[in-house]
Amino acid sequence: SPTSNPTLEVALASLTISGTASDAVGVTQVSWSNNRGGSGNASGTTTWSVAGITLDEGVNTLTVTAVDAAGNASSDSLLVTYSTPDTAAPVITITAPTSNRVYSTNQSTLILSGSAADDVGVEQVTWNNSRGGSGSASGTESWNTGNVQLAEGINELTVEALDKSGRKGVARITVVYDTTKVQVFYKWLQAESGTFALPVEDFSDPEASGGKSIRKATGSGDTDYPDGWAQYSFYVNNPGYYLFWMKVFSDRPASFFTSVDAESDTVWEIDHEADWRWVLIILDEVKPLVLNLAQGTHTLKISGREEGVKIDRILITNDLMFIPSENEPDTVPPAPVLNLRIR
């Protein structure tokens, strides 16, 4: 035990073995040794066992020797391969053409590149496009996809790193392929400029940019359904693809229900961060929300769900590469930005 085969693979650093020994004049002693270090006497003779043998990474040759009353000895060996358990998935990162979650291009092909790392080694990196096409990347720790064919509009590109244990690490980027030339549009809204239905309210907030922010009223409780709302109308002169940003504060994990143009409400979760941050709205916890808006008037509706989150400002823009700072649309902050996730 644990096997009668000559080899064994394990993922634990300690092993117990047992077996039997026989002899015409009687077995007087059973001993063991490991070529990687360690030895001793077994417990028992004709039926014996050794508990807690320490294994080193790699191959350990365990030899058990039985000695009889006349001093004759006989040995048997077991080759035990110990591999450190792989408990972590690979970490994969996209670094080019951008490390941001969204990229816009007027070219029909795109090359992604980046890095991947894993505690036991990356075996393979593959890519997939939601609009069609997939393949294997060149390289592992440092990889690139070669030319990825894009379809007109939104392409969700997923890159996966696979390790020796079959665990996967995933990185994603939303690529918008659009050959239309449009004027860049930034629509900045103060959160308190909307219309409201309680318990969503605007209130005096000296930390907010306009002296007010909005929230689900303190004491109104958490709900799993839309509870009150704030609503905003905005006009799009240039049809095309748009992102939504919000400047939020949350001292605990919280969320809102949100919809655009009366579509179904979706939960937008906000990471716990006791500070004001611009957050990009993320769909299904992985994809940035990118909407193809027609020219005309549109409506953004934010409904209450949980207490503990405040909204100061809202940005709607077709500049998909832009990361908002405080006031100016041409100012990009050096600090990383949190993500707002839709569940």
Render pLDDT for 32-87 as a digit per residue (tens, 0 to 9): 999 999 999 999 999 999 999 999 999 999 999 999 999 999 999 999 999 888 88
Q: What is the pLDDT of residue 339?
A: 39
The three-state DSSP-derived secondary structure of the chain is CCCCCCEEEECCCEEEEEEECCCCCCEEEEEEEECCCCEEECECCCEEEEEEEECCCEEEEEEEEEEECCCCEEEEEEEEEECCCCCCCCEEEEEECCCCCEEEECCCEEEEEEEEECCCCEEEEEEEECCCCEEECECCCEEEEEEEECCCEEEEEEEEEEECCCCEEEEEEEEEECCCCCCCCEEEEEHHHCEEECCEEEEECCCCCCCEEEEECCCCCCCCCCCCEEEEEEEECCCEEEEEEEEEEECCCEEEEEEECCCCCEEEEECCEEEEEEEEEEECCCEECEEEECCEEEEEEEEECCCCEEEEEEEEECCCCCCCCCCCCCCCCCCCCCEEEEC
pLDDT bin (cut points 50, 70, 90) of residue 289 is confident
Q: What is the pLDDT of residue 155?
A: 97
The three-state DSSP-derived secondary structure of 211-241 is CEEEEECCCCCCCCCCCCEEEEEEEECCCEE
Q: What is the pLDDT of residue 338?
A: 39
Residues 6 or more apart in contact with residue 154 via CB below 8 angstroms: 130, 131, 174, 175, 176, 241, 290, 292
φ and ψ of 271, to 5 deg = -65, 145
Single pTM value for the model: 0.74
Average pLDDT, the chain: 90
pLDDT reading at 336 higher than 70: no
Q: What residues are paired with 291 via a beta bridge? A: 242
Spatial distance between the Cα atoms of 225 and 339, rounded to a whole number of angstroms: 22
Q: What is the mean pLDDT of residues 141-168?
A: 96
Q: What is the pLDDT of residue 82?
A: 94
Q: What is the pLDDT of residue 326?
A: 57
pLDDT reading at 277 higher than 50: yes
CB atoms closer than 10 angstroms to residue 292: 12
pLDDT reading at 97 higher than 80: yes
Q: How many residues does the chain have?
A: 343
pLDDT reading at 204 higher than 90: yes
Cβ(230)–Cβ(305) below 8 Å: no
Q: What is the pLDDT of residue 59?
A: 97
The two tokens of residue 164 are 């020796």
Angle (CA) 132-282-335 rounded to 5° is: 115
pLDDT reading at 180 higher than 50: yes
If you average pLDDT over each of 157-161, 184-188, 283-287, which comes out highest?
157-161
Q: What is the pLDDT of residue 272?
A: 63
The owner of tokens 């930390």 is: 207
7-17 pLDDT tens trace: 999 989 999 99
pLDDT reading at 332 higher than 90: no
Spatial distance between the Cα atoms of 205 and 195, rounded to a whole number of angstroms: 18
pLDDT bin (cut points 50, 70, 90) of residue 271 is low
239-267 pLDDT tens trace: 999 999 999 998 887 788 889 998 888 88
Window from 35-49, 270-284, 320-334 with minimum mean pLDDT: 320-334
